[in-house]
Structure 1
Amino acid sequence: MSERKGIFGNLGLLFKFRQKVRTSGGVHGRGPITHVIIMDGTLSSLEPGFETNAGLTYRLCSEAAQGANMLVRYEAGIQWRNWRDTMGVIEGRGINQQIRRVYGALASRYRPGDRIFLFGYSRGAYAVRSLSGLIDMLGLLRADQATERNIRTAYRHYQTAPHTRAAQEFTKAHCHEPIEIAFLGVWDTVAAVGLHMPIVWRYSSVFHEFHTHMPARCVKNVYHALAYHERRRAYAPVLFETNPEAKGQVLRQMWFRGSHGDIGGQLSGNNPERRLSNTTLVWMLDKAEAAGLELPKGWRMRYLADPHGPSVGMNRGWGKFFWLRQKRAAKQDPSEVLHPSIRS
């Protein structure tokens, strides 16, 4: 592919993809339900051949949900449908609306004893981490209280002052008793939630900051796959910090070979074998399965993984124009580990 074709081919994808919410699965009986929520990165898609690791996780979980008590929800990242969406995509608008939408959908179906699994990539990782923080600090609305007004009120408390008396009274009146999230798995969380393009990324913003970089206390297992060789400042990672108050919580952040796109599987149709990306996909799904997520039998055989496989790199398409670069600082927290492929 020529450089010209690579750049304009990527631009064409911006208009091809549309924002999508996909749901699958159902309730078959009176037993507990497994809720799987997957939030993808900016301009992500379920277009065949263009799925990220988050998209492939959705497809796999959808298959597992057939005939099981499992509800799977996939949220594509912000999409560029036409020129009117330009500033919204650049600035990352819509992340708050998306978090509220997912929170409301979960609240309307959750019942005590259900299990919750959360996955996210890139900007979707930021969103799903915020969702877990909302549930931890405010609680999850009871189904009969999951009105649009209450959803907005809960989110407003979370954004502004989650520890006030008013917030606590709201939780007591409208939310479940504290619940547990079984698993939170994210691929390379980034701070800028808008469009990652040269110059433009500087206008991307975070419409609310995390209250803390520590994982939500209500999450039992937390896993974060990180790109060791990513250098573009537009993709600066947001790492977890160990939470001393989260007794019994498992937190593991693994640094893998490759760039941001390699770790999340956002390859734009390049590197179709995706063996490096499959390494982080299989690693994450292994951890989720160990935490109790049901997956189809023999699922690992579908994804040929090689931690030494070819990288999509940082210079395809627009990538070469991200001139501001900086080496990522690894091993700043006890939870961080270098994958053996880096050490070897």
Structure 2
Amino acid sequence: MVGLFHRVIGKWRQSKAGSARVDAGPPPRPARGSVDHVVLLDGTLGSLSQAHLTSIGMIYRFLRRSSPRASVYYGKGLQYREWRDLKDIWLGWGVEAQILRAYGWLAMRYRPGDRIFLIGYSRGAFAARSLAGLIERVGLLRKDAATERNVEQAWRHYRAEVSPKAFRDALCHPSAPIEMVGVFDTVAALGVRLPLFWTMSADRVRFHDHRLGRSVRHGFQALALHETRPVLSPLLWNSDGTGAARIEQVWFRGCHADVGGQLADYDAARPLSNIPLVWMLEQAEGLGLALPAGWRGEFPCDPAAPSVGSWGGWGKLYIMRQPRRVGMDGSERLHESVRKRKLEWWIRVGTGLKRRGPKPDLALVPFQPEPPMIRQVAVPRA
């Protein structure tokens, strides 16, 4: 009888210990480690549909497939669905929303120790640089403070060109360094983008970030050497002062759409637009973004491939043309692929116009294309 009593008491004590363990809840989750956040912002009409795919969309597809450890965000450009959308496209309205969506996404995911890569094309490049400026000047909201109201308040502080200490101290991370800002041919986001009208609104365009912020460790820009439409004049970084060693701006063959990979259905130009795409991914890989071995083979490059040009579609309306100025900043370089093809040169070198004469006296960026990746296809058995 006594033995039975002790067995019952023992089982009761075991059940109490077990229930105590259950009541304590699940064990703490292990630390997730450092994460690379890649924000990709597309240009006007750019999307993930095949007909509107740009280099930004191609990078997004590639990273989602090949870099599962990276946290990747894609923001499509301004879209045309009906004639009422033309106003937004021509004026550049909607870029602010593109910036704030990306900022909110990043605020919800960033943790101290993570790394940030911002990449954009055209107006999306403007948005990427503005996003970097927003984080630099105002700060990056913590996850618990990333409400719609606070995101909008952060943008108002940025537009007012102030650094709100109280807002930053109360709601933002102490610091959120940006590993890389990589842009394809930055153009102004606002103003009427039609012939003649664009000059009337140029004074309304305000861009804050002509210099690379101190919290941005590296800045890279791919520039279109043969674009001649003044409305698409590039916004270069000014590398004077502390930014000189952190900035590299490289000129590539082609016009604005070539450098950004916005080719519509003209696939023959893709090997040309892949050259700046591969160069940009090489910069990210060099800074530690994990890419699979042999990835360059997925983007065949050919400096002799045809250019999509700047006279198609609406381009015919831009009668007034102006060659781009080259060599105005010490951070500019000339990609070696440009010299692999003889071209009719109409560019400005500094303040002088050169035609067919010597190419710009800039340092060369090496170019050695890799053969296309050969995919093995299973052969059905007979």
Identify the TM-score tier after normalising by the shorter chain: 0.7 to 0.9
Residue in 2 that maps onto 1:253: 249
Task: Provide the TM-score with structure 2 as the length reference.
Answer: 0.76
Q: Percent identity?
A: 47
Residue in 1 that maps onto 2:115: 115
How far is 1:198 from its partner?
Answer: 4.4
Q: Does 1:282 align with 2:284?
A: no
Change (3 A) 1:186 1:278: same
Of residues 238, 241, 245 in structure 1, which corresponds to 2:238? 241
Change (3 A) 1:142 1:130: same
Change (3 A) 1:246 1:172: farther
Change (3 A) 1:113 1:252: same
Higher RCO (CA 8 Å, separation ≥ 6 residues)? 1
Length, aligned pairs only: 311
Of residues 331, 336, 342 in structure 2, which corresponds to 1:340? 336
How far is 1:309 from its partner?
Answer: 2.3
- Give the distance between the partners of 1:75 and 1:172, measured in 2 at CA: 29
Residue in 1 that maps onto 2:292: 296
Residue in 2 that maps onto 1:190: 187
Residue in 1 that maps onto 2:312: 316
- Give the distance between the partners of 1:212 and 1:59, measured in 2 at CA: 29
Q: Quick check: 2:263–2:269 contact (8 Å CA) kept in 1?
A: no
Residue in 1 that maps onto 2:148: 148
| SS of the residue 2:208 aligns to | coil
The 5-angstrom pairing of residues 175-186 of structure 1 reads 175-186=172-183
Of residues 47, 55, 62 in structure 1, which corresponds to 2:57? 55
Residue in 2 that maps onto 1:217: 214
Of residues 223, 240, 264 in structure 2, which corresponds to 1:226? 223
Q: Does 1:85 align with 2:75?
A: no
Q: Quick check: 2:129–2:209 contact (8 Å CA) kept in 1?
A: no
Q: What do residues 83-136 of structure 1 show as CA deviations (whole Å, max 9, x unaligned)?
A: 222212221111112211111110011100011111100000000000000111
Q: Does 1:170 align with 2:173?
A: no
Of residues 242, 265, 268 in structure 2, which corresponds to 1:269? 265
Q: Quick check: 1:192–1:204 contact (8 Å CA) kept in 2?
A: no
The residue identity in structure 2 corresponding to 1:295 is L
- Give the distance between the partners of 2:31 and 2:171, measured in 1 at CA: 27
Identify unmatched segments of 5+ residues in structure 1: 1-27
Residue in 2 that maps onto 1:30: 32
Change (3 A) 1:131 1:112: same
Task: Provide the TM-score with structure 1 as the length reference.
Answer: 0.84
| SS of the residue 1:245 aligns to | helix
- Give the distance between the partners of 2:201 and 2:118, measured in 1 at CA: 24
- Give the distance between the partners of 2:192 and 2:272, measured in 1 at CA: 24
Change (3 A) 1:287 1:307: same
- Give the distance between the partners of 2:256 and 2:201, measured in 1 at CA: 17
Q: What do residues 164-223 of structure 1 show as CA deviations (whole Å, max 9, x unaligned)?
A: xxx122111111112211111100001244675545655777976222400121111111
Indicate the structure (1 or 2) with the bigger Cα radius of gyration.
2
